Structure 1
Amino acid sequence: MYYIDVLVIGGVGGVGSIAIQLAKLAGLTVISTASRQESIDWCKKLGSDYVINHYKPFVEQLEEINLKGVDYIFCLNNTDQHWDTITTSINPQGKICSIVETEEKHDLNLLKSKSAAFVWEFMFTRAMYQTKDMQEQHKLLSALSELIDQKKLVTTLTEVLTLINADNLKKAHIMVESGKMIGKVVVEYFE
């Protein structure tokens, strides 16, 4: 039997946390990246079958779990930093998706011999360009909401700061910018 796998780069963030769960619901083998123990624990709690360290080369770590590469890669953290290891880790005819813009030019020829695809995902594309399938965004978010209501997915909310004010906004930014935030922070209620 052939198993389809996905590597989620940045599994502890808000998007990664949901992506791990959706991939498990779809029946995929999920490998996510994390480096700190609490981040590793979070990814496993959400359903990651394996967690590898994003500061180390992926290929060697994938080989340690008996994978020569992966079928899908979802890059949610620093496409520039991970480009070489992404192109090396993708299986022939695999698909790579990133939501993180690049500052560097990258060699797509690295994917040619593998017939691998690279695509961008941007949440606002449909609305910005008034695409024919613009209503799909509503359907996707409604389906996600139903999965949360049915307790098939857990939310990514991990921190709540009460009262929207300058101090709490600063605290929230510090938490997010630290690079150590797990899940999402919400600042709620005006004074």
Structure 2
Amino acid sequence: SLTAEESAAMPLTSITAWEALYSRLKITADQDGGKNILIIGAAGGVGSIAIQLAKITKLNVIATASRAESEQWCQKLGADYVINHHSDLIVQYRTLGIKDPDYILCLNDIDRHFSAMTELIAPQGMICSIVGCQEKHDLDRLKSKSAGLVWEFMFTRPMFKTDDMIAQHHLLNDIAQLLDDGILISTLTNTIGPMTSATISDAHQQLLSGTTLGKLALTAIE
């Protein structure tokens, strides 16, 4: 039901978002509906699908974005609240007057946000990050809360040939069905044009800017 470009935008980010929520954070609709999840850097490719999956799982989604355009995009995808990750996350979150997040999904700059995440995470909560640390951090900040930190890397299963490697095949089938049913929407926001050295460079520069919404796509080589 999608164009080739809309379809191409989905697989990698969908695997990452799905595994982060359901394999790493182990969220289920039956047990976790109504809980809060904070998604940091929610307007990008992974965040754009993570918001939608979290809402399907009946979570309350607090997204972070840094511009009016990205805030509107997060709201379109279903975020219940949007706060600015360039400002004080703790103050902004607590101003909302809601419970601290049971889950945090960090999609950008874990070094910058580590302190805020460990302060905000609810007791016995879980943090998942898809980005690595460049600095050393004190994990003892999570000890008194019995909170945890896990990583998501979509290539773990194929790299190590894990016993559950087939799970990625199954989840992509589930994503395709949700798209066909209109429950999910493609996260494609910009089709740059046919694949050339110039359009590849353009796409790369847009990604490096850190301001892209959703996913970019290039069409086939002409």
Task: Name the CA distance, whole Å, in 2 between partners of 1:148 and 1:9.
Answer: 24
Q: Match for 1:98 among 120, 129, 134?
A: 129
- Highest relative contact order (Cα 8 Å, sep 6+), 1 or 2? 2
Q: Corresponding residue for 2:79? A: 48
CA distance in 1, matches of 2:41, 2:198: 28
Structure-2 residue corresponding to 1:7: 38
CA separation in 2, counterparts of 1:30 and 1:178? Answer: 25
8 A contact 1:59–1:68 mirrored in 2: no
Shift of 1:137: 1.1
Which of 94, 100, 103 aligns to 1:63? It is 94
**Residue in 1 aligned with 2:164?**
133
Distance 2:174 2:111 in 1: 32
2:201 aligned residue (156, 159, 170):
170
Q: Could you tell me the TM-score, scaled by structure 2's length?
A: 0.83
Are 2:114 and 1:83 aligned?
yes
Determine the C-alpha separation between the residues in 1 that align with 2:112 and 2:44. 17
Q: Which runs of 5+ in 1 are unaligned?
A: none
Q: Partners in 1 of 2:34 and 2:46 — Cα distance? A: 23
How far 1:177 sits from its partner (Å)?
Answer: 1.1
Aligned to 2:155: 124
RMSD of Structure 2 on Structure 1 (CA): 1.1
User: Which residue matches 2:212?
Assistant: 181
How many Å apart are 1:75 and its aligned residue?
0.4
Runs of 5+ consecutive residues of structure 2 not aligned to the other structure: 1-32
Match of 1:25 in 2: 56
2:183 is aligned with 1:152:
yes
Structure-2 change in CA distance of 1:58 and 1:68 (3 Å): farther
TM-score with structure 1 setting the length = 0.96
**Mapped contact 2:192–2:218 kept (Cα < 8 A):** yes
Distance 1:151 1:16 in 2: 18
Give the counterpart letter for 1:96 in structure 2: I
Q: Is the 8 A contact 2:36 2:99 kept in 1?
A: no
* Counterpart residue identity of residue 146, structure 2: S
Aligned-residue sequence identity (percent) comes to 50
Structure 1 ranges of 4+ moved more than 6 A: none
SS at match of 1:51: strand
**Counterpart in the other structure of 2:18:** none
1:93 match: secondary structure? coil
Distance in 2, matches of 1:67 and 1:106, equals: 27
